[in-house]
Amino acid sequence: MTRLFNDPAAFADEALEGFTAAHRRWVRPVTGGVVRATATPAGQVAVVIGGGSGHYPAFSGLVGRGLAHGAAVGNVFASPSARQIHSVATAAHVGGGVLLMYGNYAGDVLHFGQAAERLAADGIEARTFAVADDISSAGPEESAKRRGIAGDLPVFKAAAAAAEQGLPLEEVLRVAERAGARTRSFGIAFSGCTLPGADHPLFTVPAARMAVGLGIHGEPGIGEEALPTADEAARLLVETLLKELPEDVADPAGQRAAVILNGLGSVKYEELFVVYRRVAALLGDAGVEIVDPEVGELVTSFDMAGISLTLTWLDDRLEELWRAPADTPAYRKGALDAAEPDLDRAPVTAAAQDTAVPAAPVVPAASDASRRAAGTVLAALDAVARVVDAHADELGRIDAVAGDGDHGIGMRRGSTAAHRAAADAHGLGAGAGTVLTRAADAWADKAGGTSGALWGTILRSLGTALGDREAPDAARVAEGVTEASAAVRQLGGAEVGDKTMVDVLVPFADALAAATGEGLPLADAWDRAATTATAAAAGTADLLPRRGRARPHAEKSLGTPDAGAHSLALITRAVHGALLDHH
C-alpha cells in the first residue's frame, strides 16, 4: 500500500514538486506539469504527453531530449484537465505545432481534445493521438476502444524521435499512427493497488490466483486463472500476443520487435528477469528478432503486483526511431551531445514569485437580480460539495466494482474547488452566470478525468444559459439543464442505455422541462425531476456498460448502479434542498 503521504488530496502535486526538485537537469515545472529544461530547436514539433499520476515513470519521467517535450500530469489515476494540458503545450511549443499523446481513456480523450481546440484558437497547430495497445480491453474489430498501457512508451518514443529529426507535424502524427498500429500489450496481476489514504486495495485477487487482462488504473482483470510459475506466466503473455499480429504481418518468424516486460509496481526486478529469460526464449523459438528490449518499471500502477508484456512490430523506419538516443529522468538510450539550457524559458525564482503583484481579479458587470440569484447558485454548489463529501467513499466503492474506484475522490476534488471558486466570484459581486462558469473551470481543472470534463460542461452550459443580466426564471433554468444534457452527450458520445451519467441527465432534463412547461415553480419542478433522476440512477444497475473503463468488465457491473449516474442523482436531490431554503 502507499504509506508515505501527507494530505492524500495533495499527493499528486507534492510528488510532482519533489520530482522536479530532483531532476532539474532534465525538466522545469510549469502550471499543469513539466517541460524540458534544455533548449529545443525553433520550429521543431513539440510532443506533449500526459495522464494521471500513479504511473511513474509515465508521464513526467519521460520528458527530455529524444522523448517528450512536456508532460501534463493529472491527479491520481485522473487525466489532467484541458487547462493543464494547454498550459504545458503552450510552454513546450517552439513554432512547429504540438502533438498531444496519451493513453486511450475517456477522460484523457475529452481533456486532450479540448486542449487541442484551445491551442488551435491560440493559433497553435495541434493534433492528438491516443495509444490503444491493451488487447484484453477490446477485440481486434474494436481496436479503437482499447486502453493504453505500457505500449505508450514505444509509441511516444517513435513520434518524439521523428520530431527530433525535424519532420513536420503531419508526418510526426503518421509515425505515431504507424507505431500505434503495430503495438500490442497484455498483462496479469496478483494483487490490486491501494491509493494514498485508502485502507484497502481497489481490487483483490484470491490466494493462488491471478487476474488476467488488468488495467493500469486499478481496474480488475477480465478473468482469473491459477497462479502460474514464472515460465508459465511468460508463456501466457507471449502466446496471447502472438495470436494477434498487425494486419501486414502474416507470420512472426523473421520479424523484428521492440519488447517491453513491464513491472506494475511491486514485482521486483529479479522476478522480471526470471520471466524475461523465458519470454526471450519463446520469442526466439517463434523466429522473432528482439530489438533493444526493456525490462523494468515503465508504466506502473502504484503498488500493484503485476506485469505486462508489450510487442511493437518494427519495420526499418520504426526500428531506427526505437534505437534513437534519448535522455530523460527515467529513460535513457544511446548518447547525445551536451545539452544547452533553455535560458529563454528559465523558471521563475521563488524570490521573483514573492515580489510579484498578482492582478486584481475582476468579474463582468451584473444586474442586482442576477447577483441575488448568484447567492442561490452558491448555496446549491455548497449543497453539492457537502453531499459529495458525505458519499465519496460510497461512490468509490461503486466505481471499484468494474472501474478504478476514484469517482468519489474526483468528485470531491471537483465539487470542493467549484464551491470555492463560486464563493470567490460571488464575493466580487459576480452574477449567476459568472459564478457558474468560474465554478465550471475550477471543477474541470481540479477533478480532471471524465467526470471533471463532464461536470465542467454541465456548469458552463448552465452559466451560459443564466447569464449575468436577468433574474433566471424556472424556464431559463430548465433550458440550461437541457443544453447541458445535449452538450454532455456531444462531448462524451454516450447515450441513454450506455450505463453512464447520461442515463440520469437526460430523463432529469426532460422531466424538468416538462414540469416547468406546466407552470410549476422551480423548486417544485426540480423536486419532480430529482425523483425521476433517483429512479433512473437505480435503473442503471440493470444495464451493461457500453462505454468507459467499466465496459471490459461489463458482467461484473451488473447489479450495481453506475457511479456517475448515482452521484448525479444525489446532487439533484441536494440542490432541491438548497432551492427550498432560498425560495
Q: Which residues are catalytic?
A: 217
Burial call 98-137: b when 16+ CB within 10 Å, e when fewer: bbbbbbbbbbbbbbbbbbbebbeeeebbbbbbbbbbbbbb
Q: Rounded CA gap, 453 and 440, in Å?
A: 9
Can you tell me whether residue 210 is helix, strand or coil? strand
The candidate with the shortest Cα–Cα distance to 415, out of 394, 445, 374, is 445
Q: Rounded CA gap, 541 and 548, in Å?
A: 16
Those residues with Cβ within 8 angstroms of residue 228's Cβ, 6 or more apart along the chain or in another chain:
210, 236
Those residues with Cβ within 8 angstroms of residue 314's Cβ, 6 or more apart along the chain or in another chain:
182, 255, 256, 257, 258, 291, 322
Q: Rounded CA gap, 341 and 109, in Å?
A: 33
Q: Is the dihedral of CA 518, 523, 526, 527 positive or negative?
A: negative
State which H helix or E strand residue 434 sits in: helix 432-447
The answer to whether the peptide bond before residue 5 is cis (omega within 30 degrees of 0) is: no
CA angle centred on 390, ends 412 and 193, rounded to 5°: 60
- Are 217 and 301 within 8 A, CB to CB? yes
Count the alpha carbons within 13 Å of 452 in the hemisphere toward its beta carbon: 36
Q: Residue 213 corresponds to which cell in the numbers above?
A: 487482462
- C-alpha distances (whole Å) from 386 to each of 202, 381, 412, 524, 571 are 24, 9, 9, 22, 9
The candidate with the shortest Cα–Cα distance to 436, out of 406, 473, 463, is 463
